Structure 1
Amino acid sequence: MDIGSIHSLIDHIEATNVDKYPKTSPSSNITVAGKLFPKGVFIPFGTELSLYYPLGFWSLYIPVTLEEEKAKILRSYVNKLVYDLLNIRMGYTSRKLAWTRKKNLKIRSTSFVYSDFIKSLSNDLLEYTKYNEKTLEIMDAPNLILSVWNHIYKKGHISRTELNLVRQWLQTLVNLNVNGFPKMKKEKNDFAIDPMAFSAMSGKDFSTEKVESKCDNLNSYKYKTFRTSDIHDGCRMDFPTILSHLKQRVYVTGKRQKISYIDLFHYPGVMFSDNRSPVMHRVNHYNFPITEEDIKVNTKYYIEHPLKDVDGFYCEFPAALCEIWMPLKKKILFLTAHRYSIGRCTKDSWHKLNANLKIMKIQRMSLEP
């Protein structure tokens, strides 16, 4: 199953609040968030846009000649338009996943600073669809994407230098024969995220259609139990909440303890565990080096203090930390969230990680599903 998700710094607001950004305070539980445009379709106002969707690889390009916040906004809106033109629906996480750390004042300020830019960009993108309706029917995906960027160049939103960089990015993907472009002929309302693979908690936030609150295809599944010791706050939240929606269980541990920017441990099936080996107590940085002795100590500890019903581990940040779990003969999901080789700073350690990744795959396939 392909899971597509948008990791937004800011999520969405109610339609009634589009033109007046709500005030926020640490105790209000209200999050300043995205602009609802057009009606019924959630488009992120500002986002880091981490797409876990193979046919969305092209959309990872971010403008480099614009200031950071404007680049995020522009990329979000352009990509959302392209997905709409390809008849692919993108789902967004529920309000509970919106998190702002301590940036409320900055975000509110940003909202006002870029409100004119958002309005202008939105109008120009709508104009593109109005005057290119017939042309869109004969273009393939790479040319459609370039056509949209060319339109916003003509409207003055990006420079010719930026347009050339986009062209080079797309041409590189084509030359490499990257399977990263969706076919133009998609069934209407095709989903980048399978709406029936999520519970009602996330399903209710799909843009314009209601998703059935009952997921019969999931109710019959026997849950699996995972464990993660990720260090990055986003990874500690993103995948556990996905697993929760899929009615699985996950133990979240590591140096961050119960600290979380959302009520992570209130989600069904997401649990905290402080069952940490002496080695895991010392892992406090993504570049923490794992030695053979560390692996032996860690393995001995968990043999004496078993992980009980844990079916497998997943590692996102740093993904290479998964090496420490290999001797326990559990399934390992190696999910690189940021830099595959992070924490492996020598040629030998990198090559060893490559070899271990193959072993993890073989080991995972040999264990029962």
Structure 2
Amino acid sequence: MAVNMQNIRRAYLLSTVIIILLIFFVLLPNYKYIHTINPAISNKRTSSLTFWVINLHDGCRIDTTTLLQGLDQTVIIADHVQRKNPYLTEFTRPRILFARDKGPLAPFMYSHTSYTVPLSENDIRNFFNYYKKDSVMMNVNAFYCSFPSSLCEVYMPLNRTIIWLPAHRFTLARCSRPEIDQLILHMQQSVRSEQQPKHFVAAGGRYDQEYIKYYTG
């Protein structure tokens, strides 16, 4: 029972975080989206956003996706699993889309099917080159990453809002000191006041909040 209650509390906190982030996106008066890849949609204000997500854990894949869908947001599922998951009936809801339906996935999705696979600068460069002129990507407002949250590093060159929302330790998938230092630097850069577009580092609970704060400042 204790484990179940812990999961319920964690889900509630994650829901609260997402709702707060959506308020930032939708209601903050001076917030503007900056899209260098697609100038046609620059500065566009909308109450319905499009989120792109790659998650390598079924729980994260279903929970946050259906939460956002319930808030009338659009979610594009871009991981290698696509429809081959145990929650397919939940993914038939409106506004939940699969990137594979729009075209072939980047090779990155098939080479990084586990959090144990390291992320290189070459991976980031190839991902950017694959999607920089992609018609679906041009309409994405934000990326979020939970498992692993460090996967968000691959999105940094695309100049979209990034939500780092760890469902495990934020260093998951970064197994060497240089990799961890680079990740921390990227997260610190993400939340600088002058950063545009705005990025967010969030936590699923007080322990995670203090853990991230301890290592990232």
Same fold (TM > 0.5): yes
- Residue by residue over 1:113-151, the C-alpha shift from the partner in whole angstroms, topping out at 9 and shown as x without a partner, is xxxxxxxxxxxxxxxxxxxxxxxxxxxxxxxxxxxxxxx
Out of 280, 284, 288, the position equivalent to 2:113 is 284
SS in 1 for 2:119: coil
Match of 1:143 in 2: none
Letter of the 1:49 counterpart: N
On the 8 A contact 2:190/2:198 being kept in 1, the answer is no
Offset, 1:360: 2.3
Give the number of aligned pairs.
166
Out of 263, 279, 303, the position equivalent to 2:132 is 303
Higher relative contact order (CA 8 A, sep 6+): 2
Query: Share of identical aligned residues, percent?
Result: 28
Question: 1:345, 1:368 → 2: CA distance?
Answer: 28
Query: Which runs of structure 2 are paired with 1:216-235 in the superposition (5 Å)?
Result: 222-235=47-60
On the 8 A contact 2:162/2:198 being kept in 1, the answer is no
Offset, 1:45: 9.8
Out of 148, 151, 163, the position equivalent to 1:321 is 151
- Residue by residue over 1:95-115, the C-alpha shift from the partner in whole angstroms, topping out at 9 and shown as x without a partner, is xxxxxxxxxxxxxxxxxxxxx
Alignment of 1:339 onto 2:162: no
Alignment of 1:272 onto 2:102: no
Out of 334, 350, 353, the position equivalent to 2:183 is 353
Structure 1 spans left out of the alignment, 5+ residues: 1-42, 57-90, 92-190, 198-220
Alignment of 1:259 onto 2:89: no
- Cα gap change, 1:268/1:364 in structure 2, threshold over 3 Å: closer, same or farther? farther
Offset, 1:359: 2.0
Match of 1:29 in 2: none
Match of 1:115 in 2: none
On the 8 A contact 1:224/1:249 being kept in 2, the answer is yes
Offset, 1:340: 1.1
Question: 1:282, 1:228 → 2: CA distance?
Answer: 16
SS in 2 for 1:271: strand
Question: 1:363, 1:322 → 2: CA distance?
Answer: 19
On the 8 A contact 2:53/2:145 being kept in 1, the answer is yes
TM-score (norm 1): 0.41
SS in 2 for 1:322: helix
Question: 2:194, 2:77 → 1: CA distance?
Answer: 21
Match of 1:239 in 2: 64
- Cα gap change, 1:241/1:53 in structure 2, threshold over 3 Å: closer, same or farther? closer
Offset, 1:343: 0.7
Following TM superposition, the consecutive aligned residue runs of length 4 or more in structure 1 with deviations greater than 4 angstroms are: 43-48
On the 8 A contact 1:264/1:270 being kept in 2, the answer is no
Offset, 1:222: 1.4
- Cα gap change, 1:364/1:266 in structure 2, threshold over 3 Å: closer, same or farther? farther
Question: 2:186, 2:66 → 1: CA distance?
Answer: 28
Offset, 1:52: 4.8
Structure 2 spans left out of the alignment, 5+ residues: 23-45, 200-217
On the 8 A contact 1:331/1:363 being kept in 2, the answer is no
Offset, 1:363: 8.4
Question: 2:85, 2:59 → 1: CA distance?
Answer: 9
Offset, 1:265: 1.9
Deviates most, 359-368 or 311-320: 359-368
Query: Which runs of structure 2 are paired with 1:59-78 in the superposition (5 Å)?
Result: none
Match of 1:49 in 2: 7
Letter of the 1:271 counterpart: L
On the 8 A contact 2:161/2:197 being kept in 1, the answer is yes
- Residue by residue over 1:187-230, the C-alpha shift from the partner in whole angstroms, topping out at 9 and shown as x without a partner, is xxxx9xx9xx9xxxxxxxxxxxxxxxxxxxxxxx7100001011
On the 8 A contact 2:106/2:127 being kept in 1, the answer is yes
- Residue by residue over 1:299-353, the C-alpha shift from the partner in whole angstroms, topping out at 9 and shown as x without a partner, is 1111143412100100000110100000000000100001211110001110110
SS in 1 for 2:7: coil
- Cα gap change, 1:222/1:277 in structure 2, threshold over 3 Å: closer, same or farther? same
Offset, 1:280: 2.1
Question: 1:270, 1:360 → 2: CA distance?
Answer: 27
User: CA RMSD for the aligned pairs?
Assistant: 3.1
On the 8 A contact 1:322/1:332 being kept in 2, the answer is yes
On the 8 A contact 2:56/2:114 being kept in 1, the answer is yes
